[in-house]
Amino acid sequence: MLDPLDPVIHAPVRLRIMVTLAALGPGDDLSFSRLQSLHQLTAGNLITHLRKLEDAGYVLTRKQGRATSARLTEEGRVAFTTYRRTLRSMLG
Amino acid sequence: MTEAFDPGEALGMIEDEESRVRRALAVNLPVQLLAWGVAWLVGFLALWLDVRAHSTYTPPGTLSSLVFFALLLVAGVVTAIATTRATRGVGGRTARTGARLGLGWGVGYGGFVLVAGGVAVYGTPEAASVMMTAGAVLIAGLMYLLSGAVWDDPLLVRLGVGIIAVGGVASWTGPVWAPLVAGVAGGGGLLVAAGLAARRRRA
């Protein structure tokens, strides 16, 4: 019996956000505006999806002055690895 | 992603996206090394052509020095653009490490200008010239070696070791030939490293 795919990650925009933050080095974060330009997202769209990832404990956002940055939590890294592993196991 | 969901396609998308993001966030090393390689090769050759034209040793004149420093300036601008373009918005450990290495280049050369000035005042023009050329090469080599150690990049480590060797050899060839050695071996080494880095980036 396969584990179901994590519904928090299993949405195109959120998956791309997770891929991007997972590609950063440990202890690194990425600004909201760079994340937006990397994936050509509107601010509203990005905020909505980041909030869902943050509510699940996968992403941590930090506001410094007017700039916001996001990074993957340990929990998020584990969830992303599990998601990939589940996809791979679906291929058999 | 629920209807007609294809896990193979999703995995492919993750991998494509991953390499696209990594490429966007990686500083373009080949372009930087190319800019410095050209600057060293042409700049040091200009200095050498100038000093070899005299029968007794005469330090490089205004024109060749201007060519040399203008080329270094262009390479510096290329480095700054390539770095900010890739690392814009990246914060945390990598950004701090990069800033500290940048500080190393700045402070290293700042200190070196003082040392070379002291040698120019208390030493002969020949000694000062050897110091300027070989010392500048040596510092660049050390910084490449350090960058390779910090970023875990064997190509930069090998480049650093090679450039340090060039600086050492150049100093023993004397004030006239040192710029030629620095230009051909140092600039050439940077160009070879640029080619290797470009091949690696494409792979």
- Please write the tens of the pLDDT for every residue from B72-112: 999 999 999 999 999 999 999 999 999 999 999 999 999 99
In a domain, B12, yes or no: no
Q: Is the pLDDT of residue B6 over 90?
A: no
In a domain, B13, yes or no: no
In this complex, is the C-beta atom of B4 within 8 Å of any C-beta atom belonging to chain A?
no
In a domain, B74, yes or no: yes
Contact B168, B18 (CB under 8 A): no
Q: What phi, psi does A29 have (nearest 5°)? A: -130, 170
In a domain, B191, yes or no: yes
- Tens digits of per-residue pLDDT, A48-65? 999 999 999 999 999 988
Confidence of residue B30 (pLDDT cuts 50, 70, 90): very high
Q: How far is A55 from chain B (nearest CA, A)?
A: 21
Of B18, B89, B91, the CB nearest to A23: B18
Burial class (CB in 10 A: 0-12, 13-18, 19+), A43: exposed
Question: CA torsion angle for A34, A37, A43, A49 (degrees, to 10)?
Answer: -80
In this complex, is the C-beta atom of B154 within 8 Å of any C-beta atom belonging to chain A?
no
At A41 the pLDDT is 95
Contact B178, B190 (CB under 8 A): no
CB pairs under 8 A between A and B: 67
DSSP H/E element including A63: strand A59-64
- Tally of structural domains, chain B: 1
Confidence of residue B3 (pLDDT cuts 50, 70, 90): low
At A88 the pLDDT is 92
Q: B197 lies in which domain range?
A: 26-202
- Per domain, the residue ranges of chain A are 12-87
Report, in angstroms and rounded to the nearest whole number, the Rg of chain B calculated over CA atoms.
21
* Mean local confidence (pLDDT), A7-19: 94
At A8 the pLDDT is 94
- Asked casually if ipTM beats, i.e. exceeds, 0.90, the reply is no
Of chain A residues 42-71, which have a CB less than 8 A from chain B? Answer: 69, 71
Of A28, A84, A90, the CB nearest to B14: A84
CATH number for region A12-87: 1.10.10.10
In this complex, is the C-beta atom of B26 within 8 Å of any C-beta atom belonging to chain A?
no
In this complex, is the C-beta atom of B16 within 8 Å of any C-beta atom belonging to chain A?
no
